[in-house]
Amino acid sequence: MYWDEHRLYSEIYDLVVDVCTGVSPDCLVLMRQALERETNQTARSLLQAMLENVELAGKLRKPICQSPGFPTVYISFGDKFELPNIKDIWSRAITDATMDGFLRPSMVHPLTRKNSGDNSGIDVPNFEFDYVPGQDFIEMIISFKGCGAELGNRMKIMTTAMLGKNYAGFKRLVLETVKDAGGKPCPPFAVGIGVGGQMDVAAKLSRRAVSTRDWRDVNPDPMLQDLEEELLERINLLSIGPAGIGGDTTALAVKIGLSFTHTAILPVAINFHCWPARRGGFRIYPDGSKEVLFGRE
Amino acid sequence: MAKVTLHTPVSEEDVRKLEIGDVVYITGTIYTSRDMGHLRIRQALDEEETLPVDFKGSVIFHAGPVVKKHDDKWKLVVIGPTTSIRMEPYADMIANLGVRVIIGKGGMAERSSQTFQKYGMVYLQAAPGCAVKLAGGVEEVESVHWIELGIPEALWVLKVKEFGPLVVAMDSKGRSTYRDLKEQAEAKIAAMFPED
DSSP tag of A243 = G
Count how many domains chain A has. Answer: 2
What CA–CA distances, in Å, run from A66 to A148, A182, B4, B32, B165?
A: 12, 21, 26, 13, 17
Write down the pLDDT at residue A297. Answer: 65
Task: Determine, yes or no, domain membership for A222.
Answer: yes
Residues of chain A contacting B127 with CB distance shorter than 8 Å: 46, 49-50, 53, 243
Q: Which helix (H) or strand (E) holds A256?
A: strand A251-261
Count how many domains chain B has. Answer: 1
Whether A184 and B63 lie within 8 Å, measured CB to CB: no
- Segment B60-83 shows an average pLDDT of 95
Same domain, A118 and A235: no
A4 versus A258: which is more confidently predicted?
Answer: A258
Contact of B20 with chain A, judged by CB distance below 8 Å, is answered with no
- The packing angle between helices A222-237 and A168-181, to 10°, is 40
Task: Determine, yes or no, domain membership for A46.
Answer: no
Measured at the alpha carbon of residue A209, what is the angle toward residues A207 and A211, in degrees to the nearest 5? 65
Same domain, A142 and A284: yes
Residue span of the structural domain in which A10 resides: 5-21+63-146+277-293
Write down the pLDDT at residue A228. Answer: 98
What CA–CA distances, in Å, run from B84 to A51, A231, A248?
A: 23, 27, 23
The interface residues of chain B toward chain A in range 75-104, judged by CB-CB distance below 8 A, are: 77-80, 82-83, 85-86
Same domain, A118 and A16: yes
Percent of chain B with pLDDT over 90: 95
Task: Determine, yes or no, domain membership for A29.
Answer: no
The predicted model scores a pTM of 0.95
In the predicted model, is pLDDT for residue A1 greater than 60?
A: no
Among B35, B79, B177, the residue with its CB nearest the CB of A66 is B79
Same domain, A81 and A209: no
Give CA–CA dist B35/B58, Å, rounded.
18
- Segment B7-16 shows an average pLDDT of 97
Average pLDDT along chain B: 96
Same domain, A125 and A172: no
Q: First CA to last CA across chain B, in angstroms?
A: 39
Whether B128 and A52 lie within 8 Å, measured CB to CB: no
Q: How many CB atoms lie within 10 A of CB A232?
A: 18
Residues of chain B contacting A252 with CB distance shorter than 8 Å: none
Same domain, A209 and A171: yes
Residues of chain A contacting B150 with CB distance shorter than 8 Å: 105, 108, 114-115, 117
Write down the pLDDT at residue B2. Answer: 86
Task: Determine, yes or no, domain membership for A33.
Answer: no
Same domain, A131 and A15: yes
Which CATH number does the domain housing residue B163 bear?
3.20.130.10
Residues of chain B contacting A245 with CB distance shorter than 8 Å: 125, 167, 169, 177-178, 181
Task: Determine, yes or no, domain membership for A96.
Answer: yes
- Number of inter-chain CB pairs under 8 A, A vs B: 170
Task: Determine, yes or no, domain membership for A26.
Answer: no
What CA–CA distances, in Å, run from A87 to A9, A71, A75, A190?
A: 11, 13, 10, 28
- State the catalytic residues of B: 38
> For the segment B97-134, what is each residue's pLDDT rounded down to a tens digit?
999 999 999 999 999 999 999 999 999 999 999 999 99
Chain B: give the shortest CA distance to residue A98, in Å. Answer: 10
Percent of chain B with pLDDT over 70: 99
Give CA–CA dist A114/A122, Å, rounded.
12
Percent of chain A with pLDDT over 70: 99
Contact of B13 with chain A, judged by CB distance below 8 Å, is answered with no
Task: Determine, yes or no, domain membership for A34.
Answer: no
Write down the pLDDT at residue A296. Answer: 80
pLDDT band at B196 (very low <50, low <70, confident <90, very high): low
Give the best residue of B78, B124, B195 to mutate against chain A (max A CB count within 10 A): B78
Contact of A113 with chain B, judged by CB distance below 8 Å, is answered with yes
DSSP tag of B10 = P
Contact of A230 with chain B, judged by CB distance below 8 Å, is answered with no
C-beta pairs of A294-297 under 8 Å, 24+ apart in sequence: A294/A24, A294/A25, A294/A26, A294/A141, A294/A214, A295/A25, A296/A18, A296/A22, A296/A24, A296/A25, A296/A28, A296/A58, A297/A25
Same domain, A169 and A267: yes
In the predicted model, is pLDDT for residue B92 greater than 80?
A: yes
pLDDT band at A80 (very low <50, low <70, confident <90, very high): confident
Q: Is the ipTM of this complex over 0.90?
A: yes
Contact of B51 with chain A, judged by CB distance below 8 Å, is answered with no
Write down the pLDDT at residue A275. Answer: 98
Residue span of the structural domain in which B32 resides: 3-192
Task: Determine, yes or no, domain membership for A77.
Answer: yes
In the predicted model, is pLDDT for residue A116 greater than 90?
A: yes
Which CATH number does the domain housing residue A123 bear?
3.30.360
Same domain, A12 and A88: yes
What is the b/e burial string over B96-127, where b = at least 16 CB atoms within 10 angstroms of the residue's CB?
ebbbbbbbbbbbbbeebbebbbebbbbbbbbb
By mean pLDDT, which of A3-7, A61-65, A238-242, B60-64 is the weakest? A3-7
Q: Which amino acid, B158?
A: L
Percent of chain A with pLDDT over 90: 95
In the predicted model, is pLDDT for residue B1 greater than 80?
A: no
Write down the pLDDT at residue A77. Answer: 94
By mean pLDDT, which of A27-31, A256-260, B13-17, B70-74 is the weakest? B70-74
Question: Quick check: B90 and B108 in contact, CB under 8 A?
Answer: no
The interface residues of chain A toward chain B in range 44-103, judged by CB-CB distance below 8 A, are: 45-46, 49-50, 52-53, 56-57, 60, 62-67, 101, 103
In the predicted model, is pLDDT for residue A101 greater than 70?
A: yes
